[in-house]
Amino acid sequence: MPYSPAPTRYDNPNFYRTCGRSGLKLPLLSLGLWHNFGANDNFANSRSLMLHAFDLGITHFDLANNYGPPPGSAETTCGRVLREDLAAHRDELIISTKAGYDMWSGPYGNWGSRKYLLASLDQSLSRLGLPYVDIFYSHRFDPATPLEETMGALDHAVRSGKALYAGISNYNPTQTTQAAQILRQLGTPCLIHQPRYSLLERTPEQGLFNVLLTEGIGSIVFSPLAKGTLTNRYFAGVPADARAARDPRFLKPGEITPALLTQTRALDALAQQRGQTLAQMALAWVLRQPAVTTALIGASKTSQIDDNVGVIKNLAFADDELTAIDRILAS
Give me the residues that bind ligand NDP (CB under 6 A), please. 32-35, 62, 139, 169-170, 194, 222-228, 231, 233, 242-243, 279, 296-300, 304, 307-308
Residue 176 beta carbon to ligand NDP: minimum distance, rounded to whole angstroms: 14
- Give the chain as a 3 state SS string: CCCCCCCCCCCCHHHEEECCCCCCEEECEEEECCCCCCCCCCHHHHHHHHHHHHHCCCCEEECCCCCCCCCCHHHHHHHHHHHHCCHHHHHHCEEEEEECCCCCCCCCCCCCCHHHHHHHHHHHHHHHCCCCEEEEEECCCCCCCCHHHHHHHHHHHHHCCCEEEEEEECCCHHHHHHHHHHHHHHCCCEEEEECECECCECHHHCCHHHHHHHHCCEEEEECCCHHHCCCCCCCCCCCCCCHHHHCCCCCCHHHCCHHHHHHHHHHHHHHHHCCCCHHHHHHHHHHCCCCCCEEEECCCCHHHHHHHHHHHHCCCCCHHHHHHHHHHHHC
d(CA 234, CA 236): 6
d(CA 210, CA 320): 24
Our CB check for ligand NDP shows the closer of 218 and 228 to be 228
Residue 216 beta carbon to ligand NDP: minimum distance, rounded to whole angstroms: 20
Our CB check for ligand NDP shows the closer of 7 and 305 to be 305
Our CB check for ligand NDP shows the closer of 8 and 303 to be 303
Residue 300 beta carbon to ligand NDP: minimum distance, rounded to whole angstroms: 3
Residue 138 beta carbon to ligand NDP: minimum distance, rounded to whole angstroms: 10
Residue 38 beta carbon to ligand NDP: minimum distance, rounded to whole angstroms: 11
Which residues are registered as beta bridge partners of 196?
A: 222
Our CB check for ligand NDP shows the closer of 306 and 326 to be 306
d(CA 47, CA 53): 10
Our CB check for ligand NDP shows the closer of 23 and 117 to be 117
Residue 187 beta carbon to ligand NDP: minimum distance, rounded to whole angstroms: 25
Residue 222 beta carbon to ligand NDP: minimum distance, rounded to whole angstroms: 3
Residue 155 beta carbon to ligand NDP: minimum distance, rounded to whole angstroms: 20
Our CB check for ligand NDP shows the closer of 223 and 264 to be 223
Residue 161, burial from CB neighbour count under 10 angstroms (0-12, 13-18, 19+): exposed
Our CB check for ligand NDP shows the closer of 153 and 225 to be 225
Our CB check for ligand NDP shows the closer of 160 and 235 to be 235
